[in-house]
Structure 1
Amino acid sequence: MGTSISDLTSEALAFADQQGLTQSPDKVLELKQFWLAEPSEDFLPGVALLYASSEGLNIIVTLMDKTIFSEATGFNQKTWELGDVVELFAGIPGFPTYWEIHVTPNDHRLQLNWTAADFDSVRKSERQIEEFHITDPDFITSSVSIDEESHRWSTHIFLPWKSIGIVSNPSSLTFEIAICRYDASPGKKEATLSSTANLTKPSYHRRHEWTTLTLDIPEI
């Protein structure tokens, strides 16, 4: 089931075009296992395209996937325990809070707003993850396309600027960002991980290793 990253990028661009994103992406990011000298045997490639607009950030992710599945059935479930997931991590430099957004192949979402200390407190079972849920279903929008024959799936995530407190129209915005995945399979104990960020360990919450990007924002 080999495919080149250029083929995957072409499919991502075609999906973006279907979503009305006909311009060239501002950034093209490849999902890799940067913490390994060589990718694991079960690694499959993925690509993310970023499009900044006057209203928000559009993210297109296209992934190779042998077994596309998720047992998620609703909003703000523990999606990483339920199958395949695309995960978006984004923060503004200098602000401790960051956003974590999950989208499954059946288009269910998990939305979180927290800090590194909050995440650590949940990891240690000192607090509950539900305390950090973003309960507004319109915080982001998402859509999904699955190509079972080609073993690929794509998602379009739109993050409105107003959802993250940006109400003016700046000429540019700087982000710390990581686009990651859980590539799960039924009966497989652990998912295969990969990320656009140059992580030195397979842990997506290493914010100091996320990619810092400055995107030009089109005028309204």
Structure 2
Amino acid sequence: MNDKKKEKPPNFGEDLGASNRLNENDTNEMNKEFDLDPLDESDTEYELALNETFFGIFNYHILIYCGIIYAHSAIGLTSLSFVMPAAVNEFNLSSTKKGLLVAIPMIGMLFGSYFWGCLASTKGRKITLFVSLLMNGIFDILSIFMPNYISFTITRFFVGFAISGPMNICFPFLGEFQPIAYRENILCCLEFFWVLGIVILPGCSNQIA
């Protein structure tokens, strides 16, 4: 028996139309290819519904929105490297204190990843994104006005705690709106915004300096 050739995924923006209407055999093949559980009707029906939809402007919009959030996460995570020279002079930091200041946002992310992941699973990803971004903005602003090393370090801990939310939620939030044929490509495009954020940050810091 000849092996059935795999069809090439459609291009971005292509209307799947009638060719995307799945019969029972196509459904079984999709379950095998993408490891969907045919007994889990909610998962299977959701994927079928996504594949019945047209890939269009909504998908690009949500990619841009998630991309902006992801770029913001990149800026927030790497901005301390540009603040460090001023912080060293302002707080008279030793090498140990500088190392702790760099590490403390990562420690915050360690705790935040678990917290925001549980919250997203129980309360929903949209509200979790909103709360984590709001918290991140508040502590980012507060850190500007911190008069000493201890208070600045505390605010940076909560910045790291908050920023782990959008960093971890953007990918599943974006992916759950994409048809299977486009999902991998769209999620790869999201990484472009991380690079964009890292490129924008030095330009902004140069202008401020």
Higher helix share: 2
- Superposed pair shares fold, TM > 0.5: no
Question: Whose Rg is larger?
Answer: 2
TM-score of the pair, normalised by structure 2: 0.23
* Higher RCO by CA contacts (8 Å cutoff, separation 6 or greater): 2
